[in-house]
Amino acid sequence: MSERQINIAIDAMGGENSPFKVLKGTELFLKNNNSVNILLFGNEKIINSEIKSKKIKLTNYKIINTTEDVSDEDSASTILRSRKNSSIYKGLEFVKKTNNSGFVSAGNTAAIMILSRLLIGMIDGIDRPAICSLIPNQKKYSLMLDLGANVTVTPSNLFQFAIMGLCYFSIIDKKSKPKIGILNIGTENNKGLEFLQDASDLISNSFLKDYFIGFIEPNKITSGECDIIISDGYTGNIMLKSAEGISNFITSNLRSMFQKSIINKFAYKLIEKDLIKLKDQVNPEKYNGATLIGLNGISIKSHGSASPLAFSYALNQCYNFIINKLNTQINNSIRNL
């Protein structure tokens, strides 16, 4: 473990079932990381009441009281002008001023994106941040970006996403040589929109050429053939939400099928271990915590409906990025271009 003091700023008020799910998730995280300093931003009275009533056990924590909340209906101008004493604003402000720190929130995605760019700023050489997350595949997992931060992108943006994705992957899997691909409607060089083809040329003519496998089609995302999948935010977000919907559809139908009769329940018992293994492999809680990569600091977006366990995984993501100096690695890669 690093000897540096790690600080994690947490938006205690964002997302469904907060602050309970945030506090309980923090308790789970601290069981294995009890030396981390925790800063809880939100309504101090509500947070203290929840800790006491739910008997939540926290160590090394401090509550910073905030008096404003960011709602899902807030416009960009409202977020910028009228939410300066919100848990998101104050948490990000802390990260900007504090070394070895990161921010985690299950709150309003637009607010986290806007305020992260405003308060933390961008890494030199990176034009836009990307929402980046792990997705399960047949081998283990892949990394995908962008998942919704940028509806439109340039070839240069996609090239930068590829660089950042490579740095991220080197943290989570130090031994392998990852394969980078661009999400497209076909694998042929002349397929897809012009900006995708231009991005492919940029990557092919850079130091990334040794990792680049070209275009990858959506039906190959879970095959494990590609480790780092690059996309514009519009396409990436639609792909992710479609995959989540199909997964929920299959899961709910399997559950109903195995409950229909005694014979089906018996069949379930025969393959129960395999089904549990499959469920664990695709468990979205394990992959909770999308990184706003490209910022000059660590900012993690947890799913708004995340469970306490899922929120603890988002905190783990934040901790690992601080420990492994993700931003320093990206900075070094940009400088060496």
Whether residue 279 sits in one domain with residue 236: yes
In a domain, 264, yes or no: yes
Whether residue 245 sits in one domain with residue 162: yes
In a domain, 165, yes or no: yes
Whether residue 317 sits in one domain with residue 215: no
In a domain, 174, yes or no: yes
Specify the CATH number for the domain of residue 221: 3.40.718.10
Q: Quote the number of domains for the chain.
A: 2
Rounded to 5 degrees, what angle do the CA atoms 234, 235, 238 make? 85
Confidence class for position 282, pLDDT limits 50, 70, 90? low
Whether residue 143 sits in one domain with residue 72: no
Whether residue 74 sits in one domain with residue 15: yes
**Strands across the sheet with 61-65, in order?**
61-65, 37-42, 7-11, 101-105, 298-301, 290-293, 130-136, 141-145, 228-230, 180-183, 212-216
Predicted pLDDT at 279: 65
Confidence class for position 281, pLDDT limits 50, 70, 90? low
- For residue 5, pLDDT over 50 is answered with yes
Q: In this predicted structure, which of 65-79, 122-136, 266-280 has the lowest mean pLDDT?
A: 266-280
Q: Structural domain of residue 25, as residue ranges?
A: 1-123+294-324
Predicted pLDDT at 202: 95
Q: Mean pLDDT over residues 127-144, rounded?
A: 88
Whether residue 262 sits in one domain with residue 298: no
Residue the block writes with tokens 């000897």: 3
Predicted pLDDT at 184: 94
pTM recorded for the entire structure: 0.85
Whether residue 141 sits in one domain with residue 275: yes
Confidence class for position 205, pLDDT limits 50, 70, 90? very high
Confidence class for position 283, pLDDT limits 50, 70, 90? low
